[in-house]
Structure 1
Amino acid sequence: MNALPTGIAEAIDPLVARVLAPNPSPYTYSGTQTYLVGTRELAVIDPGPDDPAHLDALIAAIAGRPVKAILCTHTHRDHSPAAAPLAVATGAPVIGCAPLVLQDAGPRADASFDTGYAPDRVLADGERIAGEGWTIEAVATPGHTSNHLCYALIEAQALFSGDHVMGWSTTVVAPPDGDMTAYMASLEKLMAREERVYHPAHGPAIEKPQRFVRGLIGHRKQREGQILRLLDEAVGEIPAMVERMYSGIDPRLKGAAGRSVLAHLIDLRTRGLVTEKEDGAWKKAA
């Protein structure tokens, strides 16, 4: 687990500092990492949970410098709720991903949605904002959520990858909003880019990102192959698939694993490879 203490601004690049929020959990690893970009004029990426101690730490790290933008990669509650109080404290606009509120009572392996997120401006794919010494480009990467954005820091050849590419675990893709087809396309999109390092919201920096992303694509294709082989064996119910695919998994995570399997099945159905039967089981398409 990341050894960085919470509430301390750590310089990780001449243009980037990182502050770890005190919200470790099974889905946040050591916590949400908030990034401060710039030296004299700042952007804040993924302000994190609405936690008073974390907000105080961010204000201390900002140290009175002007904040040009508060940017959120997406609107899960471990990423965006601190945007509003930080905007009040700094006078900065909230810019970035679109608002998204989804009522979802299913078994999750990540945080629920932030119902209070209200951006002053939504960035389109490829749109840029700039401050003194830095330029940030929005990179639309739907999949984990439909509103997920990564942010490329042009001067450092770095990408703030949010939850799309994490440094400690594969990304949760949970329907109805999580979309495996979109997620895989977003990974392929990143493969065509040339950033030298990724700074994820959870986990350590990724120093060879193209190789890392290629591994993520391979992992998902491996899971897809497992599902197709199980369908060949007439194992078409998701709970039975989870038992076979996730041997030894913590029982508390089986529901979330089932949603990942469902995301793969929906993608396979979109590609015409499987169909869902009337009883809810799945089979290969004829």
Structure 2
Amino acid sequence: MTARLTSELLPAWVTWLRAPNPGPMTLDGTNTWLLDDGTVIDPGPDDPAHLDAIVAAGPVRRILVTHGHHDHVEGVATLAAMTGASVGEAPDWLTVLDTPGHTADSVCFVAERDGRKVVFTGDTILGRGSSVVAWPDGDVGAYLASLDTLTGYPVPGLPGHGPALPNCAVAAAWLRAHRLERLDQVRDAVKQGASTPEDVVDLVYADVDPGIRFAAEWTVRAQLAYLATLSEL
């Protein structure tokens, strides 16, 4: 069954539903966010119980997505058919931030009402851990710039996976420092003789879960591409 969660970080006008699709890439499952004006952010998988829970928590008037990965958008068409909701048009009181990096189409949504402001971060910032830069669509330089943007939002972050974050700006700053540290490690791996992304993963991500090694290789390919643009490789 879909998990319906609560958090003291949520304004009264936000409801949090978690889809039943846990896994190495989705953590506890995809977070679906419902706003009391009928906006749904990231419907998640095309799972009947989850979509029924969204409708029950409705109304559902419009559907938005933070990016095009299937664990966020698979249920869009079915939910739209169930409710007649529009797709892709944000209400005036939501600010859309272009935050490419995880994917080229990644966005975040900033919402402010009744003295409360939150940022829906999608997979740009997760509730725990770090996000994959999904090469070739993802881009490290763009991701660093997006994190710079998000350091300007010291308000709760409501991510695509994992728990709500007390402070989006703090999380963004930590992730940016982590990415720069990883880039240093990749440089060192290349200096040690790593000649392929697989070699770099062996050195830099030696403890990665075998089930998500492919994601580490995506990120390494993106890191190597970024370093090449700096003429460092």
Do Structure 1 and Structure 2 share a fold, with TM-score over 0.5? yes
Change (3 A) 1:237 1:8: closer
SS at match of 1:154: strand
Q: Counterparts of 2:153 and 2:19 in 1: how far apart (Å)?
A: 29
Which residue of structure 2 lines up, in the alignment, with residue 102 of structure 1? none
Where do residues 89-108 of structure 1 align in structure 2 (5 Å cutoff)?
89-95=82-88
Offset at residue 247 of structure 1 (A)? 2.4
Where do residues 11-160 of structure 1 align in structure 2 (5 Å cutoff)?
12-38=10-36, 41-62=37-58, 65=59, 67-95=60-88, 121=89, 129-130=91-92, 135-155=93-113, 156-160=116-120
Unpaired runs of 5+ residues, structure 2, are none
Offset at residue 248 of structure 1 (A)? 2.7
**Aligned-pair RMSD on alpha carbons?**
1.7
Given that 1:9 and 1:61 are in contact with CA atoms closer than 8 Å, whether structure 2 keeps it comes out as no
Match for 1:174 among 134, 155, 158? 134
Q: Counterparts of 1:83 and 1:254 in 2: how far apart (Å)?
A: 29
Change (3 A) 1:194 1:241: closer
Q: Counterparts of 1:146 and 1:20 in 2: how far apart (Å)?
A: 25
SS at match of 1:8: strand
Change (3 A) 1:208 1:195: closer
Change (3 A) 1:31 1:145: same
Q: Counterparts of 2:148 and 2:13 in 1: how far apart (Å)?
A: 27
The residue identity in structure 1 corresponding to 2:208 is: I
1:199 aligns with 2:158: yes
Q: Counterparts of 1:255 and 1:90 in 2: how far apart (Å)?
A: 37
More helix by share: 2
Q: Counterparts of 2:207 and 2:91 in 1: how far apart (Å)?
A: 46
Given that 2:2 and 2:49 are in contact with CA atoms closer than 8 Å, whether structure 1 keeps it comes out as no
Given that 2:154 and 2:167 are in contact with CA atoms closer than 8 Å, whether structure 1 keeps it comes out as no
Offset at residue 129 of structure 1 (A)? 1.8
Change (3 A) 1:252 1:34: closer
Given that 1:7 and 1:53 are in contact with CA atoms closer than 8 Å, whether structure 2 keeps it comes out as no
Give a deviation string over 1:102-148, Cα, whole Å, max 9, x none. Answer: xxxxxxxxxxxxxxxxxxx5xxxxxx623xxxx21111111111111
Instruction: Find the structure with the greater CA-based Rg.
Output: 1
Where do residues 165-244 of structure 1 align in structure 2 (5 Å cutoff)?
165-191=125-151, 193-244=152-203
Change (3 A) 1:32 1:260: same
Q: Counterparts of 2:69 and 2:163 in 1: how far apart (Å)?
A: 20
Change (3 A) 1:177 1:48: same
SS at match of 1:174: coil
Given that 2:136 and 2:218 are in contact with CA atoms closer than 8 Å, whether structure 1 keeps it comes out as no
Q: Counterparts of 1:75 and 1:194 in 2: how far apart (Å)?
A: 24
Q: Counterparts of 1:159 and 1:222 in 2: how far apart (Å)?
A: 26
SS at match of 2:199: helix
Given that 1:157 and 1:195 are in contact with CA atoms closer than 8 Å, whether structure 2 keeps it comes out as no
Given that 2:67 and 2:107 are in contact with CA atoms closer than 8 Å, whether structure 1 keeps it comes out as yes
Q: Counterparts of 1:250 and 1:158 in 2: how far apart (Å)?
A: 32
Q: Counterparts of 2:61 and 2:215 in 1: how far apart (Å)?
A: 38
The residue identity in structure 1 corresponding to 2:18 is: L
Q: Counterparts of 1:231 and 1:86 in 2: how far apart (Å)?
A: 47
Give a deviation string over 1:236-275, Cα, whole Å, max 9, x none. Answer: 332222111122323333332122111111011112211x
